[in-house]
Amino acid sequence: DGGITQSPKYLFRKEGQNVTLSCEQNLNHDAMYWYRQDPGQGLRLIYYSQIVNDFQKGDIAEGYSVSREKKESFPLTVTSAQKNPTAFYLCASCSSGTAYNEQFFGPGTRLTVL
Amino acid sequence: AQSVTQLDSQVPVFEEAPVELRCNYSSSVSVYLFWYVQYPNQGLQLLLKYLSGSTLVKGINGFEAEFNKSQTSFHLRKPSVHISDTAEYFCAVSLGGQGGKLIFGQGTELSVKP
């Protein structure tokens, strides 16, 4: 089955620690995205990548970093510079072969800072 | 800048009653429109999309939406809801291209009561 996987489902971090969230897709999509979701705030774009070895900042990139070394993978690192990292993180992907940008989502990772 | 407004943050409704979740967008150019559903602690799942053609779009789980260009609206409807429809619903807009980005509304929490 094609799809997007995110791991882990739940993640706990101590203040001051960096943590990396995994996102893998086997849909052969070129574009991948990371969103942060907080209650009542909808989805906010952190980073996105349209092609391997290239990525762009979204609306709330401060305190986050990404890499795109393989088409299938787009890991997100939450650094200690992110002041309030507790949130639900969603990864998505999209085919560049369509004009309308339908995005497919993973199941999410809930990050809690202790 | 383009934006999406979901007019109701919460919609309580009794089982088997009809429901309408409202979405307005701002754009002076042609757009593609989406409704996604999110069940608790899960990722987003596509309900339906408007790309072109007929303004009435049918989706999964008995939902439908009507695109109204003059009112820049894309309201989601279901004639008879079930308890299992309890979830958060997101309206999203794509301009095409633009890095494949979607612009999301803040979400509407639909609560179906017995």
CB–CB contact B42 A56 (8 Å): no
What are the residues whose beta carbons fall under 8 Å from the beta carbon of B62, sequence distance 6 or more? B78, B79, B80
Residues 6+ away with beta carbon under 8 Å from B57: B48, B49, B50, B64, B65, B66, B67
Q: Tell me the CA distances in angstroms from B90 to A18, B19, B36, B86, one per residue in order.
A: 30, 15, 5, 13
CB B100 within 8 A of CB A96: yes
Rounded Cα distance between A111 and A93, Å, is 21
Tokens of A84: 């309030």
Beta-bridged to residue B44, according to DSSP, are: B38
Per-residue pLDDT tens, chain B, 114 aa: give them: 778 999 999 999 999 999 999 999 987 677 899 999 999 989 999 999 998 888 899 999 999 999 998 999 999 999 999 999 999 999 999 876 666 788 999 999 999 999
pLDDT of A69: 97
Minimal CA separation from B45 to chain A, in Å: 7
Secondary structure tally for chain B: helices H, strands E = 0, 12
**How many DSSP H helices and E strands does chain A contain?**
0, 11
| Six-digit token string for B4 | 């999406």
Tell me how many degrees the CA angle B23-B52-A27 measures, rounded to the nearest 5. 85
Cα–Cα dist B41/A27, whole Å = 23
Contacts of A97 (CB under 8 A, 6+ apart): none
DSSP 3-state assignment of A57?
strand
Q: Let me know how long chain B is.
A: 114
Of the residues A89, A102, A110, A112, the best mutation for testing chain B's interface (the one with the most B CB atoms within 10 Å of its CB) is A102
Report CB contact under 8 Å: B100, A96.
Answer: yes
Q: Count of CB contacts below 8 A, A vs B? A: 65
Q: Which of A113, A109, A114, A105 lies closest to A27, judged by CA? A: A105
Q: Mean pLDDT of successive 10-residue segments in chain A (114 residues)?
A: 90 92 95 92 92 94 97 96 93 83 93 92
